[in-house]
Amino acid sequence: MATGQAQKLAKWALMPSVAALSAWAFIPLALTFYFAFLRYNLQDPDNTGWAGFSNFYYFFKDPFFIKDLINTVLLVAGVIMATVVGGVLLALLLDQRFWGRGIVRLLVISPFFIMPTVSSLVWKNLILHPVFGLTAEIQRWFGFAQPFDWFGKLPLFSVGLIVAWQWLPYAALILLTALQSLDEEQKDAAAMDGANRFNYFRYIVLPHLSRPITVVILIETIFILNTFAEIKVTSVGGFAGNLTYLVFSQLNDANDVGMAAAGGLIAVVLANMVSALLVRLVGKNLET
């Protein structure tokens, strides 16, 4: 379409960002790749040299690997399920006309702007804490002498609760925008065709939302695979740790840079596999 000159110009104009992007993404990845094949333990600095695939082997053999892999999957799946269902319901609610809708919308979005570390601290110490927490207070009011210890008894669920709380606004916002783009005449047509509220939702609204739901699932998957702050701050890494946390603990607790790098690469490969699978499964919705 464009002339040769415009294409040449575009190429040169893009160069700086291509360069910056490769430096930003490629160099860390290359270094990780390099470290992953080295014997590189900070507690044993004299023992250097190539390690072959042993870092990968021992990362897989780590007693936490399978458990953390399962945790990762459960966390991603659970949070997506909660945010999509909750997001649809919340979006439907926010699409109604009621007094103070503007302020309520603003408030609903706010959790998304809070740093994960901060919200984790708030949830840990002010809301779910078995002694000082809001839930504990409520339980005592109902006469329970021993309030429920969320992070002790249900660590993964509690982490999921925090992450879902952060991502619910995002899902609701995307879905609300989609709801507002639904043609009003379709609602009239559905009413003429005899669809009641439930059928209108089931046959018209939900199919209309399938694309934005796909987008929400894809984006959330990528970000929630990397959940870290919520696990670290609430100190449940030993019970509810995911692969990101396992990589961190290799570096922080075992001081093994090589093994952490290998774990990082494994996590990258797994994340890519999950994304590719998702794009295959739900990405069809994005076509046409």
Partner 1 sequence: MGSITLDHVSKTFGGHTVVPDASLTINDGEFVVFVGPSGCGKSTLLRLIAGLEDVSGGRILLDGRDATTEGPAQRGLAMVFQSYALYPHMTVRQNIGFPLLMAKLDKAEIERKVQDAARILNLGDYLDRKPGQLSGGQRQRVAIGRAIVRAPKAFLFDEPLSNLDAALRINMRLEITELHQQLKTTMVYVTHDQVEAMTMADKIVVLNAGRVEQVGSPLDLYRKPANRFVAGFIGSPKMNFLDGAEAERYRAHSIGIRPEHITPTRDKGRWHGRIGVAEHLGSDVFLHVALDGGLGHLTVRTPGDMAVSHGDEIWLTPDDSRIYRFDKAGLALDHTS
Residues that bind partner 1 (CB under 8 A): 183, 185-186, 188-195, 199, 203-204, 207-208, 210, 288
DSSP 133: S
DSSP 283: G
Nearer to partner 1 by C-beta: 162 or 190? 190
Minimum gap (Å) between residue 220 Cβ and partner 1 = 23
Q: What is the CA radius of gyration of the chain?
A: 24
Nearer to partner 1 by C-beta: 121 or 195? 195
d(CA 210, CA 192): 24
Strand residue runs (E) in the chain? none
DSSP 154: -
Strand partners, 256: 41
> Tokens standing for 175?
């879905």
Minimum gap (Å) between residue 189 Cβ and partner 1 = 4
Nearer to partner 1 by C-beta: 42 or 191? 191
d(CA 288, CA 285): 8
Nearer to partner 1 by C-beta: 207 or 238? 207
Nearer to partner 1 by C-beta: 44 or 193? 193
Minimum gap (Å) between residue 28 Cβ and partner 1 = 42
DSSP 128: S
Give phi and psi for 38, each to the nearest 5.
-105, 150
Minimum gap (Å) between residue 88 Cβ and partner 1 = 16
Minimum gap (Å) between residue 98 Cβ and partner 1 = 17
